[in-house]
Structure 1
Amino acid sequence: MEEVTKVDQKKPHVVFIPLPVQSHIKCMLKLARLVHHKGLHVTFINTQSNQKRLIKSGGTSWLENAPGFQFLTVPDGLISTSHSDDEPMQTMEQVSSYLAINFLDSFLDLVPRLDTPVTCIVSDGFMTFTKTPDAAAKLGVPIILFWTFAACGFLGFYQAKVLMERGIVPLKDESYLTNGYLDTFVDIPGMKGIRLKDLPEHILGVGPKAHALKFMLETSMQADKASHMIFHTFNGLESSLIKVLKSMFPKIYTIGPLQLLLNQIIEKESKNFNCSGYSLWKEEPECLQWLHSKEPNSVVYVNFGNLAMLSLQDLVEFGWGLVNSNHYFLWIIRENLIDGKPAVLPPELKEVIKRRGFIASWCSQEEVLNHPSVGGFLTHGGWGSVIESLSAGVPMICCPFSGDQQTNCAQMCKEWETAMETGRNVKSNEVEKLVRELMVGLEGVRLRKKAMEWKKMAEMSTGPNGSSSLDIEELVTEIRMLSRN
């Protein structure tokens, strides 16, 4: 049985409930550590499998210096395939199906073990499918929805409700996916030039992910009921969209980039809030050692996140494109990247990669992006990766796979001018051309300049009297007021 920390009964007590995915856990854990530092008691709810992985990777080592911060777990229905410490094989679909039925009861079973009353719940906006609003109602406490992505990403998902009301989705049939209809422009206040193809494929209502439209609708309707919502973005980056959100919802907080807010604590109090300690995978320090041997801005960092799946053919096309670009590259190839299985590169490609490439299974991404040797980032365009790259002033090549990545990519390329896009049908010659342009071309120079401008704006937002700094203070004040009611 997990040990429950003895806490000050007078402190506000916030329960965090993340979506059980690496990027969402990382983002919410940073927010949890931030509000804990500001004097609130925190209980962080992980699934049993993810908590086991977090501990195994060293992601909880900082807890020794964090009294009043505890992890508790709920079952996720996953069973290890052996009696060893091997991680159970899991898919998001498996976990989601189990949690949709079992999370509420499992969570409420934990409540009597808490030593202090719950002040409020901070739930991932996508976790409402597990009835987190019902949990808050049963406890008689408010719920705050935390969207771990950008304002543009949220509004992309929110279009499921808007477009259905307009009769635009679901599409009539799958032919609309290929007949050019997806090039139709969509009117979204605060966003210019957004097409149907730039929105999450989940909202289209046809094809392999047709079932997800219902989920998107329900999630949007839960957002309509929320009294408080948090976004991991900053005003300077998305000012027009934040104005739109504030006109739509009662109370909005923008609190990004979170790592830069944590860095403020380092500067003021010399606390150890480093970039690592949030990963479900073991981070390989050899990546940084390899980068130390390279010239400034000479390395392309390549990582497609924690969920994207590639075919072996796509992997090979990326590989030859990177090799033929004649630039150094650090390539993260997860053990389940190729259709959920380990990648086996062709021997001839593996051999030539040794000349200019370094392959690892995982790394401390923020440390890599902030390394002076890194001059560009080939990314899937997940929001965690994008905001970390902007925080480091690193320009990008974006290859979106699903979800908010298409919307992020459209904004990165057109609005923020920090990225170039590669088509989803990956060809080595296109990858080669884009990498060369990013690293030494005139377009790369322009994108790098813009990325540095966004970096400075992110630092201003998280500095003294910056919009994100003020919003986190306002959020904590609001939670303190809730504890007095």
Structure 2
Amino acid sequence: MSSSSSKAKAHILVVPLPAQGHVNPLMQLSHELVKQNGIKITFVNTDYTHSQIMKSLEAEGGGGKCNNDENIRMVSIPDGLEDGESRNCNFDKLFESLTEVVPKKLEMVIREINERESDDKISCVVADGNMGMALLVAEKMGIKRAAVWTASAACFALYFSIPKLLRDEIIDSDGTPTEDKFIQLSPNMPIMRTKHFFWTQFGDDDLDAKRIVFNFVLSNIKALEVTDWVICNSTQELEPSPFAFSPKMLPIGPLLASKNNHARNLAASFWPEDSTCLNWLDQQENNSVIYIAFGSFTIFDLTQLQELALGLELSNKPFLWVIRPDINNESNQAFLKKFEERLPSHGKIVGWAPQKEVLGHPSIACFLSHCGWNSTIEGVINGIPFLCWPYFADQFLNETYICDIWKVGLRVNRNNNGIISQVEIRDKIKQVLRDEGFKARALEMKERAINSVKEGGSSNKNLKSFIDWIKT
């Protein structure tokens, strides 16, 4: 673009952590930003993530296009791991590799763009709060920078309370809780259990892995201290106390509640979305279907899978169940094939679903969820009651919001063998559907969340200020 033909655009480099729940909100934000005249985006995934997304788009017939938006260009850089290495299990290895590889590669990308573009040089780096190394590259290169926090504000407050937790000996120098207990960072904040601190949920019993993850967290905290902005996909109305506790962070969400944010083809899904489930939902009665989805990381063994399936059958309710292709191994597949044959009209199983449209469908009555923050927000903005089945990281904290603070859902509890039984699943489905208070509170939460992104709403004002800063 030549300066004589038009005014240079603000050119933003967007860098998510390479995980489904992080790529999604940064892509949603990117689409919000490029709707403004005068902003273009280079979206940087890792090679592995980029390949997953492109395969998914091609399988859906998208031809690898990012919603056909010429103002969002997708590029990729290595994550440092070998092709066959798992990105879902070895978080310590991935985080260590990202820290080592990303800064050099990102600097190269910025220099290449700036040498090629006479007018549209990178003017701002917007990075995931868990990709602190990208913010430090921006600082080093004299580029203004902002962080996007993709979890709850309460999770951010916990992040920034780590120095105090260390001083008060609630955790040791490796981040390990000194005892399993409940704490509250300040009055009116969600109560948190120390064994559920999200950085302790990685690496199982491998102390070296836990140390690497904790050091990754500490390095991100340092990077967040040098950002100009920290924005969050949440709302003042949903989390008043955490935003008061962390005044540096500003809510701009829920991003998907914006009337202009189209749900499909945002070039962010790691698996092809099976939209045949929407036709199936059209055949179901309003407010009748249980939607079951556990995000991009949750893993089930055959015993738990069977209990869940039989619990859904016992509930005698229609259900739509998402089972990712990567966990549908031979034994799981053999059981599910027989299960589906037995219940042809009663239930539908898909590999991946267009979740935003599913949750917005009038037939959905309840969301059985792992309580990832994106899923939590998507359920809230559609006024859907929850059944909570957290797996790891911040999902336990989100369960606390859903069940204890917002009161829009129930926990499903494990038995003495660590299994959530079919009877527990059946009973909790009946309980959440029978008590109309859950739906009434969920609809009230929906209204509050959507009002925050409307003209004059708190998130809407913050987003406008952020856009003004980007363009300056």
- Relative to the length of structure 1, the TM-score reads 0.85
Contact 1:49 1:78 in 2 (8 A): no
Partner of 1:66: 69
Contact 1:50 1:280 in 2 (8 A): yes
Q: 1:171 to 1:412 in 2, by over 3 A?
A: farther
Partner of 1:473: 464
Contact 1:382 1:408 in 2 (8 A): yes
Aligned ranges 1:56-205 → 2 under 5 Å: 56-58=55-57, 63=66, 65-77=68-80, 90-91=87-88, 93=91, 94-114=93-113, 115=117, 116-128=120-132, 131-170=133-172, 181-200=179-198, 202=200
Find the partner of 2:31 among 30, 33, 47: 33
What do residues 252-299 of structure 1 show as CA deviations (whole Å, max 9, x unaligned)? 3211111122x2x37xxxxxx234433121000111111111000110
What do residues 427-453 of structure 1 show as CA deviations (whole Å, max 9, x unaligned)? 2211111111122x12xx111111101
Q: 1:194 to 1:79 in 2, by over 3 A?
A: closer
Deviates more, 1:16-25 or 1:94-103: 94-103
Contact 2:10 2:470 in 1 (8 A): yes
Partner of 1:84: none
Contact 1:390 1:455 in 2 (8 A): yes
Mind listing any 5+ residue stretches in structure 1 that lack a counterpart?
1-6, 82-87, 267-272
Q: 1:470 to 1:323 in 2, by over 3 A?
A: same
Find the partner of 2:333 among 320, 334, 344: 344
Q: 1:300 to 1:12 in 2, by over 3 A?
A: same
How many residue pairs match? The answer is: 447
* More helix per residue: 1
- Measure, in 1, the Cα distance between the counterparts of 2:109 and 2:6: 19
Mind listing any 5+ residue stretches in structure 2 that lack a counterpart?
none
Query: Does 2:247 align with 1:257?
Result: no
Query: Does 2:286 align with 1:284?
Result: no
Q: 1:61 to 1:392 in 2, by over 3 A?
A: farther
Contact 1:188 1:194 in 2 (8 A): no
- Measure, in 2, the Cα distance between the counterparts of 1:205 and 1:22: 19
Partner of 1:310: 300
Deviates more, 1:97-106 or 1:210-219: 210-219
Q: 1:134 to 1:241 in 2, by over 3 A?
A: closer
What do residues 336-369 of structure 1 show as CA deviations (whole Å, max 9, x unaligned)? 236x888335265444343521100001001000
Post-superposition shift, 1:142? 2.0
AA aligned to 1:215 is: F
Give the secondary-structure state (helix, strand or coil) at the position aligned to 2:104. helix
Partner of 1:330: 320
Give the secondary-structure state (helix, strand or coil) at the position aligned to 1:354. coil
- Measure, in 2, the Cα distance between the counterparts of 1:213 and 1:188: 23
Post-superposition shift, 1:406? 0.6
Deviates more, 1:88-97 or 1:404-413: 88-97
Contact 1:259 1:275 in 2 (8 A): no
Post-superposition shift, 1:77? 4.0
Q: CA RMSD in A?
A: 2.8
Give the secondary-structure state (helix, strand or coil) at the position aligned to 1:153. helix
Contact 1:171 1:205 in 2 (8 A): no
Query: Does 2:376 align with 1:386?
Result: yes
Give the secondary-structure state (helix, strand or coil) at the position aligned to 2:130. helix
Give the secondary-structure state (helix, strand or coil) at the position aligned to 1:126. coil
Partner of 1:14: 12
Post-superposition shift, 1:219? 2.6
- Measure, in 2, the Cα distance between the counterparts of 1:323 and 1:157: 41
- Measure, in 1, the Cα distance between the counterparts of 2:48 and 2:291: 29
Contact 1:76 1:99 in 2 (8 A): yes
Deviates more, 1:96-105 or 1:35-44: 96-105
- Measure, in 1, the Cα distance between the counterparts of 2:111 and 2:215: 34
Query: Does 2:366 align with 1:362?
Result: no
Contact 1:170 1:203 in 2 (8 A): no
Contact 1:54 1:281 in 2 (8 A): yes
- Measure, in 1, the Cα distance between the counterparts of 2:175 and 2:214: 14
Post-superposition shift, 1:331? 0.4
- Measure, in 2, the Cα distance between the counterparts of 1:57 and 1:192: 37
